Amino acid sequence: DAGVIQSPRHEVTEMGQEVTLRCKPISGHDYLFWYRQTMMRGLELLIYFNNNVPIDDSGMPEDRFSAKMPNASFSTLKIQPSEPRDSAVYFCASNTRWAASGGVGNEQFFGPGTRLTVL
Amino acid sequence: AQRVTQPEKLLSVFKGAPVELKCNYSYSGSPELFWYVQYSRQRLQLLLRHISRESIKGFTADLNKGETSFHLKKPFAQEEDSAMYYCALSGSTFYNTDKLIFGTGTRLQVFP
């Protein structure tokens, strides 16, 4: 397995544009997490899904942010409209409670991240 | 409320010196604590968890419930230990997966 896959790896856009970040979790994992990493705030959980259903979106900063998981192998994080303060690295992570599917308790497996720059 | 505090943003030491990265947590129940590490140009990955009581790459961390701490220690730092270290907390039992609350991270720099 290639691990968690994220695209694009880098995104540069202008303020006001729509940005869509994509994530493919590890096959068999039923939990998916979106994080934002900044120098000032470290790693913040934005939202997470279980079996494609959003469980906790309390970390989503505002209505400009939305996330979907239409199926077990794909999720998107959308920012519309984007602002310069959204510039950060966005990580996706996945895991499962089922050891038969490769789960190791609460260990989360992270993607390489998408570095977003909003000018 | 669940909270993880890493008071140092940057810790710089010379090779061979002891290292201690501090982590304090706030949680009313029985927490599960982790240390994650992010090496340059690599993915964030699990370093160790308190429940395993293991030593990974020479690092150890002991959960001190009285002081609500989970400091990461290594007796002799190596240059390859230079990385970003995150302490994380989960309120779930071992095989129930739940969200992790991360601290703000500490960057460890080990000079030759």
Is pLDDT of B96 > 60? no
Q: Find the chain A residues whose C-beta atoms sit closer than 8 A to any C-beta of B.
A: 3, 31, 33, 35, 40-45, 48, 56, 91, 93, 95-97, 99, 103, 105-108, 110-113
How far, CA to CA in Å, does A109 sit from each of A2, B1, B36, B58, B83? 11, 25, 11, 22, 18
pLDDT of A69-97, one tens digit each? 999 999 999 999 999 999 999 999 998 87
pLDDT band at B45 (very low <50, low <70, confident <90, very high): very high
For residue A99, the model assigns a pLDDT of 58
| A66 φ/ψ angles, rounded to the nearest 5 degrees | -145, 150
B101 has which bridge partners?
Answer: B89
Task: List per-residue pLDDT tens for chain A, 119 residues long.
Answer: 689 999 999 999 999 999 999 999 999 898 999 999 998 888 999 999 999 999 989 899 889 999 999 999 999 999 999 999 999 999 999 988 765 555 566 789 999 999 999 99
